[in-house]
Amino acid sequence: NAGVTQTPKFRILKIGQSMTLQCTQDMNHNYMYWYRQDPGMGLKLIYYSVGAGITDKGEVPNGYNVSRSTTEDFPLRLELAAPSQTSVYFCASSLQGNNYGYTFGSGTRLTVV
Amino acid sequence: QKEVEQDPGPLSVPEGAIVSLNCTYSNSAFQYFMWYRQYSRKGPELLMYTYSSGNKEDGRFTAQVDKSSKYISLFIRDSQPSDSATYLCAGGPGGGADGLTFGKGTHLIIQP
């Protein structure tokens, strides 16, 4: 049982490049989330999904896109990377939304130069 | 308004001490409260969750919520060096799916 798996673990992007952060979970959770964590700033919600085919914006969605074609996968797309997107990105999943908490992946550390 | 306030620390205590970590929140709609532990360069892991006001105990950990004062606490008894980590508190409305709101985390150091 792998839980929530994120790839890659580390990535360096140049300004203007694009990339997709992968997230997959094997717990059959309907709810999935993307957060970013900046030093001293806590976790900020980027996008979330309540099931396949359904996504919605969180607190800081600008510069990102998501899709949810299957229950298991919730990729995060960065278009035209900017230095402000340098952060650690965490994917999480939950069986019942806010109830009982989330299971987080190990994160993707992204640097934009 | 969705805010959870938490002292960033660091909080340094000797091994074996009782640790008290605290948060305040502003959103009256919050019904679920969680504590996560995050080791350096790792993802947060769920320690405890509570619903509404009250206490919940799990081994050396006790979570306490006072909704009347919008105050969340985590107590760690017989603290160990392995408890050294950043502790994140979080809250969210009942039945909601639009994401928990997290505090910035308190960095805890347990001195051997």
Residue A56 with chain B: CB contacts under 8 Å: 98
| Pick from A40, A97, A103: CB nearest B95 | A97
Going residue by residue through chain A (113 aa), what tens digit of pLDDT does each one get?
689 999 999 999 999 999 999 999 999 999 999 999 998 888 999 999 999 999 999 999 999 999 999 999 999 999 899 999 999 999 999 988 777 789 999 999 999 99
Q: Is the per-residue pLDDT at B101 higher than 60?
A: yes
Between A83 and B2, the higher pLDDT residue: A83
Q: Is the per-residue pLDDT at B95 higher than 90?
A: no
Nearest CA in chain B to A106: B43
Residue B105 with chain A: CB contacts under 8 Å: 42
Structure confidence at residue A65 (pLDDT) = 97
Asked if B98 reaches chain A (Cβ–Cβ under 8 Å), the answer is yes
Residue A104 with chain B: CB contacts under 8 Å: 36, 43-45
Task: Mutation target for B interface from A33, A38, A98, A100: give the one with most B CBs within 10 A.
Answer: A98
Structure confidence at residue A98 (pLDDT) = 73
**How does pLDDT run across B56-82, given as a tens digit for each residue?**
999 999 999 999 999 999 999 999 999
How far apart are the C-alpha atoms of A111 and B70, rounded to whole Å?
37
Structure confidence at residue A101 (pLDDT) = 82
Contact A98 B92 (CB under 8 A): yes
Q: How many residue contacts between A and B have a Cβ separation below 8 Å?
A: 70
User: What string of H, E and C letters represents the secondary structure of chain A?
Assistant: CCCEEEECCEEEECCCCCEEEEEEECCCCCEEEEEEEECCCEEEEEEEEEECCEEEECCCCCCEEECCCCCCECCEEECCCCHHHCEEEEEEEECECCECCCEECCCEEEEEC
